[in-house]
Amino acid sequence: DTGVSQDPRHKITKRGQNVTFRCDPISEHNRLYWYRQTLGQGPEFLTYFQNEAQLEKSRLLSDRFSAERPKGSFSTLEIQRTEQGDSAMYLCASGSGNQPQHFGDGTRLSIL
């Protein structure tokens, strides 16, 4: 069990640029979740997949955000035309059945 892996750990970009993050879940987990966390707050749900199907997407999620999990294994989260307010820690978690979600170390995004 190698845990949930996220890449990159840090991303600094200029406003208006597109960014893509990758998450590799624990191999036997069929569910994969994306959360966003800002300073002093708990993780905020963005979207989740069961296998390759995206089952739920937060209503707060702008259409600039898109996520994929093409083969039911790793997932990518893309943010287009980044804005200052997108600066946050993006966390990925994986789980299965009634088992708990296990989080990766996150990707910290800073928008200049």
Partner 1 sequence: QQPVQSPQAVILREGEDAVINCSSSKALYSVHWYRQKHGEAPIFLMILLKGGEQKGHDKISASFNEKKQQSSLYLTASQLSYSGTYFCGTEGDGNKLVFGAGTILRVKS
Binding site for partner 1 (CB under 8 A): 4, 31, 33, 35, 40-45, 48, 50, 55-56, 91, 95, 98, 100-106
Which 3 state secondary structure label does DSSP give 4? coil
> CB of residue 102 vs partner 1: minimum separation in angstroms?
6
> CB of residue 57 vs partner 1: minimum separation in angstroms?
10
DSSP string of 17-40, one letter each residue: --EEEEEE--TT--EEEEEEE-TT
Of the pair 13, 50, the CB lying nearest partner 1 is at 50
Of the pair 5, 76, the CB lying nearest partner 1 is at 5
Q: Which tokens is 49 given?
A: 């997949």
Which run of H or E residues covers position 66? strand 65-68
